[in-house]
Structure 1
Amino acid sequence: MIIATLITLAAAGPTWSRAPNPLIADTAPLVIALKVTESMETTDLAPSRLDRAKFKIADLITERAGARTALIAYAGTPHRVAPLTEDANILRPLLEGLTPAVMPKQGDAAADALTLAQSILGESESPGAVLFVLDDLDPSQVPALSNSTHDLFFLTMLPDGDRIAQLGNVQGASTVAFTDDDRDISRLQRQIQSAYTAALDDDDRLDWQDKGWMLAWPAALLSLLWFRKGWVIRWALLALFVLPPSGARAEGWRDWFLTPDQQGQIAMNQKRFGDAAELFDDPYHKGYAYLKDGQYEQASEIFAGLNTAEAAFAEGMARIRNREYRPAIAAFETALERRPDWPEAQHNLEVSKAILDYVETTREQSDTGEEAGIGADDTVFDNDEARGSETTVQAPQDGPQTLNAEQWISTIDTDMQDFLRNRFLLENQERAE
């Protein structure tokens, strides 16, 4: 009776948490607000508080591989350094360029930074969090921080685990003190993920996750008491030799208990995306696993064979990450045909067109090949031997060849601090207007 009760309850599908959805990021989006002021250049944390903060942020980005992270710098005014992105290679060079010298106004505008962070998270479908990395907080900023609509976390950049007294007045915030090892980052990551899991319970777009399988284990253990010498073995042998084999795939003991899609989901939860792609039978989930694993070409091929708006959208994401901008534009247009007025697809379509226009403009401006070493003959004057006579030198033909569009972009050399300083000044001017 106990076994029957457990099995009945398991079949009823008890649940208390939401199931992950491939269309919604499986890790909390995070906006990091870094305080960039002169106080952050104090050297009590060698080489400085700001440098150690950059190291910690870089470690957190690495720990959150595959998750979307945005970066804000603030002093007297807040500025968006990078939008939500999964590409750590975009964040790291921008992070390195942040110094007090690039900030147009000194001060502590933590409340304005929170407003900017919440506007960034408002563009995401998933519930997110805001992390402040700072060494002090103006008491006047506390009331606005206490009214945050998102989960707030603080990483304090002070030696010996010192606390910032004002943070104790920020309601609902979690504070983690700086440590010389990675304990602070691990603790932050756990807290952010826990807050994200709790927030998902309020997301009606997600199905509830069936937890009935947990009751199968005590039922299986109790079923051992049902065995009696002889007769159970006879029936088991009869079933083994008489019953026809099932059509289920038999590639190990896991296939006796789990379907390929269930095994694929387990691999996805463990972030073994390549293994998940091989395990999934469902084509959409297989394509999504390839996308997360960085195998964009395989993901594009799978999504292209599906006839849903979501598949076209995912194909566009895979194409654009594979730098196939024209096919990405076509995929997002297909997604809009299948689901008109889809804001995310419209936004990505505009981004794809902007990237393509930038790539083609850059290539057209560099068609002379001068930067690649292929151009007109160089005219030189040899004043030592020919006394100023004009001679010409033919450029070698076996040298570097014309670069493709992506290589042209990578050759653009701009000082990051000058870039950020000019951008922040422009943003302040636009706000003033």
Structure 2
Amino acid sequence: MADLIGVFHFLRPFWLLALVPIALIWWQVRPRRVAREDMAEGLAPHLARALTVGSQSGRRVYPIDGMALTLAMLVVATAGPTWSRMTNPLLAQTAPLAVVLKVTPSMENVDVQPTRHKRASFKILDLIERRGGAQTALFAYAGSAHRVTPLTEDPNIVRSYLSGLSPDIMPQEGDRADQALALAQGEIAKSDTPGAILFVLDDLNPANVAAFNEGAAERAPVIFFVVAGQGVQIPQLDQIDNASVVRITPDDTDLDQIERRVLSAYREALLEDTRQDWEDKGWLLAWPALLLFLPWFRRGWTMRWGLAFLLVGSFGKPAQAEGWRDWFLTPDQQGQISFNTKDFSGAADQFQDADWRAYALLVAGRYEEAAEAYGFIETSAGANGEGIALLRHRKYHDGIRAFEKALERDPSNVTAQKNLATAKAIVAYVESTQAASDTGEQSGIGADETVFDNESGQGEEMQIEREPSEDAPAGLSTEDWMRAVDTQVGEFLQSRFRLENAQGDN
């Protein structure tokens, strides 16, 4: 709240000068009480009140009060109050999150059923599902720290690797949360969107406190998610700056707290991003101003001249209302409401802002229209968005050209550089795959089906024969198959962690 108050200002402060004539008119028009004590001399008080005509003693609020307050609110709204910046439609709407899981024997304690580690895994999976579309990275630590998965929008990747984590695969026992913090900070720094770090643990070695407090103001905010019984206290967590603590709960209250704190961290970081415009919040005053009109329908409360004044002031607007929403909300505001309610296709049809309309088309899966919309945005970011839309529409070579166009407009665009490299890698993979496979006829691809573009014209027929094996294993049950997959992932992570730990020692 203190940060919001510190950045509060008006986009058009000169409009506030209009409050002066409004105050003067209110002062001149508002009726004043008239002292009538001299007329009541020699009369009993109750007779004096009955004989007095035009007494104003019983009235406290006048129509001019509501009129002045309404005009004042409209003037303040026109001045453009703001305390937050507009989010970039080309960036993720939710902050990226680095999840750091402690994988030690203490996490196998059963004071939280079924175990601390299992319950923590369930909570992480639920959190990832709730953050659909947001980037999440996974780290594990004990006596050493390791990156399990980089930032990804695919929850299935995190889910598959999370299932393979256990204390048995960690190279060393211990509590090197400081190493995990350094890895998580490095991963978050790769994202263009500010994010947060979530530590899922049951205890913290006090020796790590100094590492967490070093440069705490500059690093990403840390959220400690304590997955231990209520009797377990970790007082050293309160000594860490730019951090908060959330304790595990039987319901989703803990996940709600984590989401709010991640979003709060994103908004606080966004305030420092001078590249983004300030968001005009004046429209919030339209609703209370509208409520002040309601008493004017009451008999004896009408101020026709005031209503006429407001109507005359609105005649200068050329817009025509095509629906009740158009009376109160602009098309971009209606589009934002639809976007926030996940109606991306409807939002794309409502937005007039070019950036938001193109982004909504992209999220809605209307890739061809999104590429066309981005094509009209003559910026490096617009060309980059066009390339992303073309890639998702399987127009890989066109996507490469779009990314190259983005780099021509801004050679320092790191995002376009990464996307260009990814697009070229996709083309190389597709063409090499097609060169080693058939041309499509044997695969049953018909003329009306979607295929990858292949400007190089590669592709050759190949036939592979395989003799039936007498030792072919019988079909595994679902439970056996899942156990085998978990074991393979665990063995892979164990080998990788040991190799990383050995390289670190050297």
Alpha-carbon shift at residue 413 of structure 1 (Å): 12
Which is worse superposed, 69-78 or 357-366? 357-366
Q: Output the CA distance in 2 between the equivalents of 1:166 and 1:223.
A: 56
Distance apart, 1:333 and its partner CA: 1.5
Does residue 144 of structure 1 match 2:214?
A: no
Look up the equivalent residue of 2:252 and give its one-letter code: D
What do the CA deviations read for 1:135-162 (whole angstroms, capped 9, x no partner)? 1211111111123322110111112463
1:312 to 383, 389, 392: 383
Pick the aligned partner of 2:190 from 108, 118, 123.
123
**How has the CA–CA distance of structure 1 residues 307 and 143 changed in structure 2, closer, same or farther, with 3 Å as cutoff?**
same
Residues 102 and 295 of structure 1: CA distance in aligned 2, closer, same or farther (over 3 Å) = farther
Partner of 1:393: none
Quote the Cα distance in structure 1 between the aligned partners of 2:390 and 2:82.
37
Aligned counterparts, 1:190-205, within 5 A = 190-205=260-275
State yes or no: 1:179 paired with 2:246. no
Q: TM-score, normalised by structure 2?
A: 0.69
Alpha-carbon distance, 1:311 to partner: 1.7
Aligned to 1:277: 348
Percent identity of paired positions between Structure 1 and Structure 2: 49
Which of 127-136 and 140-149 deviates more? Answer: 140-149
Please say if residues 66 and 292 of structure 1, whose CA atoms lie closer than 8 Å, have aligned partners that are also in contact.
no
The one-letter code matched in structure 2 to 1:196 is Y
Return the offset for 1:368. 13
> Structure 1 residue 425: deviation in Å?
3.1
Which residue identity lines up with residue 49 of structure 1 in the other structure?
R
Letter in 2 for 1:52: R
Could you tell me which runs of 5 or more consecutive residues in structure 2 were left unpaired when the two chains were aligned.
1-21, 23-67, 444-461, 471-484
Residue 128 of structure 1 deviates from its aligned partner by: 1.3
**Alpha-carbon distance between aligned partners in 1 of 2:269 and 2:107, rounded to the nearest angstrom:** 33
Pair 381,346 (structure 1): closer, same or farther in 2 beyond 3 Å: closer
Cα offset for 1:365?
A: 6.3
Equivalent residue for 2:374? 303
Secondary structure, in 3 states, of the residue corresponding to 1:34?
Answer: strand
Structure 2: how far apart are the matches of 1:338 and 1:102?
A: 48
- Distance 1:200-1:364 versus aligned 2 partners, 3 A rule: same
Aligned CA distance change for structure 1 residues 379 and 204 (closer, same or farther; 3 Å): closer
- State the Cα distance separating 1:29 from its structure 2 match: 1.5
Q: 1:421 aligns with which of 480, 486, 494?
A: 494
Separation of aligned partners in 1, 2:136 and 2:148: 11
How many residues are aligned here?
395
In structure 2, what is the equivalent of residue 222 of structure 1? 292
The CA distance in 2 between the partners of 1:275 and 1:199, in whole Å, is 30
Q: In the alignment, residue 22 of structure 1 is paired with which amino acid?
A: P
* CA displacement at 1:38 relative to structure 2: 2.1
The residue that corresponds to 2:404 in the other structure is 333
SS in 2 for 1:159: coil
**Contact (CA 8 Å) 2:91, 2:193: kept in 1 or not?**
yes
Relative to structure 1, is the Cα distance of residues 10 and 331 closer, same or farther in structure 2, using a 3 angstrom cutoff?
Answer: same
Partner of 1:23: 90
CA–CA distance in structure 2, aligned partners of residues 93 and 361 of structure 1: 28
Q: Which stretch shifts more, 42-51 or 293-302?
A: 293-302
Partner Cα distance (2:139, 2:433) in 1:
28
Q: 1:351 aligns with which of 422, 431, 438?
A: 422
TM-score (norm 1): 0.80
